[in-house]
Amino acid sequence: MSTQTGNKNSFTCPFHGWTFSNNGKLLKAKDESTGGYPPSFKQDGSHDLQKLPRFQSYRGSYSVASKADVQPLEAYLGETCKIIDLIVDQAPEGLEVLKGSSSLCI
């Protein structure tokens, strides 16, 4: 998303071109009529966004888990927290985050 804050009724994924309502319902898929989707596509919320059960953050980094029963993020990071703290604490006024994003889909 190019805008970090605001209010919208829908959101379009810039990669896939799918449009979702602000409550996660899939409204439209790119090339839906010609994209070769099966007849069961978009039935009974099959492709709506799902709420992720676990969202955590540490020093400005975010972690999302698909299961609720994962250990706390700080416990998972362990000794790595010390390195993250050293990096983040280098600038009292905070770090400058350059434009762009990085993500990993599994």
Single pTM value for the model: 0.54
Q: How far apart are CA 30 and CA 67, in angstroms?
A: 29
Centre a 10 Å sphere on the Cβ of residue 63 and count the other Cβ atoms it contains: 14
51-95 pLDDT, tens digit each: 889 999 999 888 999 889 999 999 999 999 999 998 888 877 777
Average pLDDT value over all residues in the chain? 86
Contacts of 58 (CB under 8 A, 6+ apart): 73, 74, 77, 81, 84
Q: Where are the domains of the chain?
A: 54-88
Average of pLDDT values for 9-37? Answer: 89
End-to-end CA separation in angstroms for the chain: 20
